[in-house]
Structure formats: structure tokens, C-alpha cells
Structure 1
Amino acid sequence: MSAAAKLERRTFSEVRTAGRRLEGYAATFTGEADLGAFRERIAPGAFRNALSGDILALLDHDAGKVLGRTRSGTLRLSEDSRGLMFSLDLPETQAGRDVLQLAERGDLGGMSFGFTIPEGGDSWQGQTRTLRSVNLKEISVVSAWPAYEGTEIALRALQLGAEAARRRRVLVMAEAALWA
């Protein structure tokens, strides 16, 4: 299974601006996400080991729209008792200007994060999964709306091949129906 096939994403909706800086939480430890077939929660400390790598800040999970990264210092991440906190210096690019304008108007959908799970990084109790350790790959500004309220799924790649593609199409069609 390729790394891209295992990438999972979650969404949260707390963002604020401070000049050209975007700040908030990309994930929190409170509550559970209802993912349909199961529930999920994030344990405190889940991001602790992931923060030392080079993590990207993207617009809508699009690797062609990089807003910052930890390696350059334009993205700063930390884990506190509430969750995964971020501070992002927005670039003077079209994507950066768009994000700033949308954030100032209160039009952003929220934040999301993409991750994989290392061996032993999750545990199950019945139909509830607890993320105890994640390999954080990116955080994303979600310009539209999150798929769910709070820290919940925006796009999930649990299965390979046609089933994963079918689910993505269903999400896109459901989103389009909201605009119709």
C-alpha cells in the first residue's frame, strides 16, 4: 500500500488572523468524530513525535498551493492541552492573498490535517478508534466548508482503488448539490 493511499484527513473550524498571520487549531483533543462506520478521537500527545519533520501548510490539500512549511519557519506547530496549534505566515501569492481575504471576512471553512498512522499508532475499543500517534504530513486551510463540524473527516482514504474514488465522487456530488 502506498503512502498516499493511507493518507487521512480531518477538519476543524477555528481560525483567526493577526496581520498576515493565520492562527488557530488544526485539530483538537475534545470530542469524537462520527465517521459513519466508526467513531474516532485524538488522544493528547498524538502529534508530539510528528512535529519535528518538515510539515506543509496547503490550501485545500493541494500540493500546488503551498502556503508555508515548518522547514522554512513560515509554519509553526505545537501541541498543547487543547490540540494541534498552528501559526502560519501567509505568502504574498494569489493563494495567500485569497486566504487572508477569506479569513478576514469570516468565509473560511476551517482547518484540516493530513496524516498517516505509524504501526501501533491507533487503538480500538469496540467501534471507537483512538489516534495515539500520527505522522503529520500537512495542515490545510479549507476554503469551502468542512465535511463535518469540529475535528472530523474531510476526505478519507481508507480503501484503495475504485471504492476510494467512488467515495470521493459522492462527497463532491453532495457538495455540488448544496450549491444547486
Structure 2
Amino acid sequence: MEKENLMEKQTTNKRCLLFGLETRELEIDGEEKKELWVEGRAVSFNSPTVLFEIGETQYKEQIDSRAFEETNLSDVIFNYNHGGKVLARTRNKTLVVDVREDGVYIRARLDGTEEGRKLYDEIKGGYIDRMSFQFTIREQSYDKENHMWTVRKVKRLYDVSAVDIPAYDDTSIEARKNSILEADAQEQSERKAAAELSKRKLQLKMKLSM
């Protein structure tokens, strides 16, 4: 069974990264208010992350450095734990998404809403220091020897979030587990069939030589 090309996965995936969020305040000319910005890296390229384990085997994933070349970034939002009110958005220029050589970086302005200002204070105080991104995959490959998925192309980036507890999409992980188990079952079935065919050929050869 071909396992090197797992294409067109359309389920939404979440990945949590440990990269720290940084805060920055900017003075607004002629006003007492300040612009409240948070900055961080939402995606790291070519950096394997363990998705799950089966027995002693770790199954990992990495994002290819060219995965975002054709990605739809037209309307990405910034929020908290992938839910609740939108706190920043590319469409109104309060969120900047910057794809670089080593990953995807973001800058989000949070002073526009009460929830955003509260989240800014929590990030500044160190209570929240992790990021996650939610996306769909257009193309990926699987390295059987190293038990590694590589996301080759990201179809769309939906949101980047500040998160308190790392969490993967259980549905996505379960689907990947099932694909591994099904592929292994198929491979064992093919090996059994090949062994049976070899056995029959040997029996036939012995009969003909008698």
C-alpha cells in the first residue's frame, strides 16, 4: 500500500508551539492611550513535533519551509484558545502575518477590545506564553522509516491563537493513528498473500519435477 503520499486532507488541524509571546507598547501621538502589540512565532519550519505514540514508537510531524507559498492568508484572526471573540484580524490590519525562512511570525494589536487588553496583560505577566495555529492541509507526505509526516502545502491558515494549555486536534490525531494501523494491516495482508503465492509455486515446481 502506498503510504508516502497522503493527499488532500481537509480536516482542520491545530498545532501548539512553545514559542514565547512578547509584548510591546507604542505611544500614540497626541493621545494618552498606547498601542498594545504582542509578537511571536506561530509556525516553525522543519522542526519535528511528536503527535502521538504507539508503544515505543513516536509519530511526528514537521512543516516544510515552502508549505505556505500558496496558502490563503486573506483573512486570518488572532484569538484565545481558538475560540471566543476575535481580538485581531488581518482584514482590518490589526494582525500581521509574516512568512519568513524559518517560520511564520505574527504581530497582533490588542488594545481595540476589552478582551484584547486583558489578554495583553496576561501575556505580559507571563500567565500565557504559548501559541497555536489552526489550518487545513493541501498536501503532505509520510516517511515510514522515520515515522514522520511532512506538511508540504498548507491550504488555508484560519487563526493564530494565544493558548494556555497545549492541545492537538483529537480528531486529526485519531485519523492519523487509524491511517497507520490500516496501512500496517494492509502491508501484513500483502506479505501473507505473497508468502502464500510463493508456497504454491514451490509446491507446483515440486510436482512437475516428480
TM-score exceeds 0.5: yes
- State how far apart, in whole Å, the 2-side matches of 1:51 and 1:85 are: 16
Within the candidate set 33, 57, 74, 1:53 is matched to 74
Tell me what 2:4 maps to.
none
Report whether the alignment pairs 1:86 with 2:102. no
Indicate which of 119, 141, 144 corresponds to 1:123: 141
Quote the RMSD (CA, aligned, Å). Answer: 2.0
Return the structure number with greater relative CO, CA threshold 8 A, min gap 6.
Answer: 1
Describe the shift of the 1:92–1:74 C-alpha distance in structure 2 as closer, same or farther (beyond 3 A).
closer
Q: Which of the numbers 156, 171, 185 marks the counterpart of 1:157?
A: 171
Deviation string, structure 1 residues 106-136 (Cα, Å, up to 9, x no partner): 1114110001112xx1111112100111121
Task: Determine which structure has more spread, i.e. the larger CA radius of gyration.
Answer: 2
Quick check: 1:96 aligned with 2:116?
yes
Change (3 A) 1:146 1:52: closer
- The structure with the greater share of residues assigned to helix is 2
Alignment partner of 2:158 out of 130, 137, 142 = 137
Aligned to 2:47: 31
Task: Number of aligned residue pairs: give it.
Answer: 147
- Matched with 1:68 is 88
Is 1:6 aligned to residue 11 of structure 2?
yes
| TM-score w.r.t. length of structure 1 | 0.74
Q: In the aligned structure 2, how far is the partner of 1:31 from the partner of 1:156? A: 21
The answer for unaligned runs of 5 or more in structure 2 is 1-9, 26-35, 54-58, 176-210
Deviation at 1:58, TM superposition (A): 1.5
- TM-score, with normalisation over the residues of structure 2? 0.64
Give the deviation of 1:51 after TM superposition.
5.0
SS in 2 for 1:102: helix
What are the ranges of 5 or more consecutive residues in structure 1 without an aligned counterpart? 148-153, 161-180
